[in-house]
Amino acid sequence: MTGTSATESPLAGVKVLDLSWFGAGPIAGRALAAAGADVIKVETVKRIDGLRAMAPRPRGARGYNLSGYFNNYNANKRSVTIDLTTERGHELGLVLIRWADVMLTNMTNRAVKQVGMGWETVSRENPRLVAVYMPMMGTTGPHRDFQGFGAMLTAICGMNYLAGFAENRPVGVGTNYPDYVVNPMHAYIATLAALRHARRTGEGQMIDVSQDESSVAAMSLPLFAHDNGGGAYLRAGNRVPYAAPHGAYRTQDTPDRSDRWVALACLDEEHWRTLAAGICGHPEWTDDARFSTLASRLSNQDSLDRLIADWAAGQQGAEVVRRLQLAGIPAGLVQDAREMLEDPHIGERGYFVQLDHAEAGLRWYDGPGWRMTESPVSLDRAAPMLGEHTFDVALDLLGLSADEIADLVAEGVLQ
């Protein structure tokens, strides 16, 4: 890892071999790429990153280069296709290991063994290497060979138990939340720490990111409630034990939305008095014994929510949010994907970026999620097409001649 100037990206000069697929690994790799690292993603035609085959994609489109999910999670990377399960492919993979500062994978432990990229092997080839392993349950323990994706992970880590209502079945959170958010950022932070150590000492190290444990780390409230209070954490929808009202309430339909909702929270008595008297126009609510204290409001939330819902049904969503915010009450519109893309605040800050993909065309991509005053962090290249950079990497990094590349393509080693 080389030093950087104030105008360089913070990870300029860092080289990453990305052996990951689907969500958690690729997003961690994209974070490194957005910070300036040179990330080479390795796939094989016989076993592509499965996200390439998934929707969403342009209507009627077919092929492995058009998935919105894949393209969003793999911007700023290069793509090479090498069959690491072949003898010659494994040798080429080890050349890339010697080139890399970081190796990243969220394959299962069995798959890592199959491609011969375990820690003993890669550390022997490159003692300075930071090797990040992200199997769902970690590299050790009785469940280390469990397989699954975010939908299973949200159940295993306890998150599903928190979503919905106590009288209904656990419903999850509607998306593979942990492996899209928590897991990749834990891997990213750990990688930065290990890179700093490697730069100072010359020593690489293995990073074991259990996606299960990473997800459990975000579950502190119910776990600590159980451990310290001894009580069960009950599914209660949007309700919380420290605020009332606290929820989402339907407002008037708009020409472009027939289900407009506003989320609001009264976190203290001043919020409640301001909402009841100043915003809703019902000062008598604060004198009602059912709602005069937080404890009484929590005991009568069904009645309270009906009052707030009846009031909200006659309000225009954006206007009532403006009034609530001016009054210092936390509130916001419940927005859909289109509204997020068109959000003027997000737009002015330039979070979403448009990148032109050779097959998918001009598409929106998530931004890095943070910015730095001295070091640029950005996405400026669309996701690579499958094997787009195989020839260049084979020629420049692997040291192969054009004839050797052609022979390896014919043998199925390079694809």
pLDDT in tens, 233-258: 788 899 999 999 999 999 999 888 88
User: Is 212 in contact with 137 (CB distance < 8 Å)?
Assistant: yes
Least confident segment among 3-12, 17-26, 120-129, 331-340: 3-12
Dump pLDDT digits (tens) for 121-170.
999 999 999 999 999 999 999 999 998 888 889 999 988 888 888 888 88
Q: End-to-end CA distance of the chain, in Å?
A: 30
Average pLDDT (257-265) is 94
Q: Is the pLDDT of residue 231 over 80?
A: no
User: Is 312 in contact with 320 (CB distance < 8 Å)?
Assistant: yes
Comparison of pLDDT for 224 and 311, the residue scoring more? 311
Average pLDDT (75-94) is 98
Average pLDDT (42-65) is 91
Number of helices (H), then strands (E), in the chain? 19, 11
Average pLDDT (195-208) is 98
| pLDDT classification of 365: cutoffs 50, 70, 90 | very high
| pLDDT classification of 2: cutoffs 50, 70, 90 | very low
Active site residues: 179
Classify 202 in phi/psi space as left (phi over 0), alpha (psi -120 to 50) or beta.
left
* Helix 183-201 with 24-34: angle, nearest 10 deg: 50
240 forms beta bridges with: 243
User: Is 1 in contact with 195 (CB distance < 8 Å)?
Assistant: yes
Task: Provide the 8-state DSSP code for 383.
Answer: P
User: Is 340 in contact with 346 (CB distance < 8 Å)?
Assistant: yes
Q: Are strands 130-133 and 102-105 parallel, antiparallel or unpaired?
A: parallel
3-state DSSP assignment of residue 12: coil
Q: Is the pLDDT of residue 46 over 60?
A: yes
